[in-house]
Chain A
Amino acid sequence: MIEIKNVKKSFDGNTVLKGISAVFEAGKANLIIGQSGSGKTVLMKCIIGLHRIDNGEIRYDGRNLPDMRFKEMKLLRREVGMLFQGSALFDSQTVLENVCYPLRMFSNMTEKEIAQRAKFCLGRVNLEPKAYELFPSEISGGMQKRAAIARAIALNPRYLFCDEPNSGLDPFTALVIDRLIKEITEEYNITTIVNTHDMNSVMEIGDSIIFIRQGEKEWEGNRHQILHSNNQYLNDFVFASNLFKKVKEKYSK
């Protein structure tokens, strides 16, 4: 579980996060949604520790991130997996080598065990073996995302962060990635935080959702509650398209 309390962050006098508090539970897909520029990426980077917060607490199962020394933070990061918007696979390594990388770096496994574990993870994300020896530039965006998920789960993380996992993917592939994230979260009881503005994702995997607006938490709930919410800002954001407006009307009746 990750708990954040009164998290504030500003850049050069410009306040981006104005005191956000939330609880992200284990075994659930916790979504952070909001418009572009609302501060959700900054919030995620603060939670991971890529940005140092100005004020507040970020507790990983009780361990407060801002109080951690460099070595403690390094150890914590070995419990963290991250799926980046652009996958962030290493260009110079094949898909298999990418997944082997964290295992080689942080485990005491033999090369054989590393290869076995990496292939298991790649199999878990349904990536075909013929893609294992290809370089990231030689595979599709969806396959890159799957490979990145495989790399993120290679070390059995306790916490998984996904920054806009569906960006640049077609609706079908996006759905596959969403379901994969949810399955892995439940299977390994991971605390997963997903940063998205894709409403299909929200409706598909949103066990717990926080809506950020202008650096503040505007709304909190789950994918069922979102359909009945009266929050004007949330409704304007979530039901911006005609399709979702009709869905909302249907559920409101």
Chain B
Amino acid sequence: MYFLSALKELGSYTLLMWRVFSRPDRWRMTLKQIPVEIDKLVINSLGIVVIISIFIGAILTIQTKLNTNDPLLPRYSTGLVTRDTLLLEFSSTILCLILAGKVGSNVASEIGTMRITEQIDALEIMGVNSANYLILPKIIAFVLMIPCLVIISMGVGLVGGYMVGMFSDVITVNDYIYGIQYYFIPFYIVYSLVKSLVFAFIIVSVASFYGYYAHGGALDVGKASTKAVVNSSILILLFNIVITNFMLT
């Protein structure tokens, strides 16, 4: 029963995406929406990305140092572990899980509210492909800009670790700087960015799907929003394994 329901949802999702990626009625209108969506979904997320990244960078440095306090391990290992953790997992996967909550709920509730207040019906009656008009600019905006958020998160996270070196005696700044430069593999950034592109698509498309098919009242929009966050988080974790297996092994 659960399998059938999941299959039905997958079918509806695919049909919705088919409509989303059809040719817009007016490209001019779609392109005009993209900067608006960038502001709403990306610029508005910048604050939380910076705050979380800086603290996680700092915590990672402290935890790594405290838990690897072995004289056999080189002193630069703390910086190295912090860098690789940030590059490989935090700034792509964990950041996208956080954004699934922030951006996903925002998108689902916005589209869900438009559905229950008949704004989507109004678009349909005008002859507008509502799925395309509402969802495509969001997907383009978020997928286009997620690499920026990821790179900002990486940089700010590393600064967080640096600040631990500056303001505490857990690690010296020199060891940290040496560690984050030691055996740097540029492909890790590519890997992280590729993951983030896939995750960004999942976040916006899944949230849009649940919002678009919301029905009822405010309570149902809340439920749709919750479903969007939970399911996109699960899909992010699932695709994380698939992409990692594909790109790093």
- In the assembled complex, the Cα of A80 lies from the Cα of B128 at a distance in Å of 12
**Most chain-A Cβ atoms within 10 A of its Cβ — which of B29, B121, B127?**
B127
The answer to the question of A223 belonging to the interface, with a C-beta cut-off of 8 Å to chain B, is no
Chain-B contact segment, one of A57-65, A99-107, A113-121, A170-178: A99-107
Within 8 A of A (CB), among B73-119: 113-114, 117-119
The answer to the question of A50 belonging to the interface, with a C-beta cut-off of 8 Å to chain B, is yes
* A248 surroundings in chain B (CB, below 8 A): none
The answer to the question of A75 belonging to the interface, with a C-beta cut-off of 8 Å to chain B, is yes
* B117 surroundings in chain A (CB, below 8 A): 86, 88, 91
The answer to the question of A184 belonging to the interface, with a C-beta cut-off of 8 Å to chain B, is no
Residue from B114, B119, B124, B126 in contact with A50 in the complex, judged by beta carbons closer than 8 Å: B124
* B126 surroundings in chain A (CB, below 8 A): 77-78, 80, 101-102, 105-106
* B72 surroundings in chain A (CB, below 8 A): none
- In the assembled complex, the Cα of A175 lies from the Cα of B227 at a distance in Å of 43
* A48 surroundings in chain B (CB, below 8 A): 125
Question: What distance in Å separates the Cβ of B123 from its nearest Cβ neighbour in chain A?
Answer: 8
The answer to the question of A135 belonging to the interface, with a C-beta cut-off of 8 Å to chain B, is no
The answer to the question of B9 belonging to the interface, with a C-beta cut-off of 8 Å to chain A, is no
Question: What distance in Å separates the Cβ of B217 from its nearest Cβ neighbour in chain A?
Answer: 12
Kindly report which residue of chain B lies nearest to residue A74, judged by CB atoms: B127
* A86 surroundings in chain B (CB, below 8 A): 117-118
Q: Is the CB of A84 within 8 A of B118?
A: yes
* B119 surroundings in chain A (CB, below 8 A): 88-91
Kindly report which residue of chain A lies nearest to residue B25, judged by CB atoms: A105
- In the assembled complex, the Cα of A76 lies from the Cα of B124 at a distance in Å of 11
* A88 surroundings in chain B (CB, below 8 A): 117-119, 121-122
Question: What distance in Å separates the Cβ of B124 from its nearest Cβ neighbour in chain A?
Answer: 7
The answer to the question of A85 belonging to the interface, with a C-beta cut-off of 8 Å to chain B, is yes
The answer to the question of A82 belonging to the interface, with a C-beta cut-off of 8 Å to chain B, is yes
Question: What distance in Å separates the Cβ of B2 from its nearest Cβ neighbour in chain A?
Answer: 21
- In the assembled complex, the Cα of A72 lies from the Cα of B236 at a distance in Å of 40
- In the assembled complex, the Cα of A104 lies from the Cα of B123 at a distance in Å of 13
**Most chain-A Cβ atoms within 10 A of its Cβ — which of B113, B117, B122?**
B122
* A76 surroundings in chain B (CB, below 8 A): 127
- In the assembled complex, the Cα of A75 lies from the Cα of B126 at a distance in Å of 9
Q: Is the CB of B29 within 8 A of A75?
A: no
Within 8 A of A (CB), among B23-52: 25-26, 29
* A50 surroundings in chain B (CB, below 8 A): 121, 124-125
Question: What distance in Å separates the Cβ of B23 from its nearest Cβ neighbour in chain A?
Answer: 12
Kindly report which residue of chain B lies nearest to residue A90, judged by CB atoms: B119
- In the assembled complex, the Cα of A109 lies from the Cα of B117 at a distance in Å of 29
* A75 surroundings in chain B (CB, below 8 A): 127
Q: Is the CB of B118 within 8 A of A105?
A: no
Q: Is the CB of A78 within 8 A of B118?
A: no
Question: What distance in Å separates the Cβ of A44 from its nearest Cβ neighbour in chain B?
Answer: 11
Given contacts A82-B125, A105-B25, A106-B126, 19 further A-B contacts (CB under 8 A): A50-B121, A75-B127, A77-B125, A77-B126, A78-B127, A82-B121, A82-B122, A84-B118, A84-B122, A86-B117, A88-B121, A88-B122, A90-B122, A101-B126, A104-B29, A105-B26, A106-B25, A106-B127, A161-B125
Chain B residues within CB distance 8 Å of chain A: 25-26, 29, 113-114, 117-119, 121-122, 124-128
A-B contact pairs, 12 of them (CB 8 A): A48-B125, A80-B127, A84-B122, A88-B117, A88-B122, A90-B122, A101-B126, A105-B26, A105-B29, A105-B128, A106-B126, A106-B127
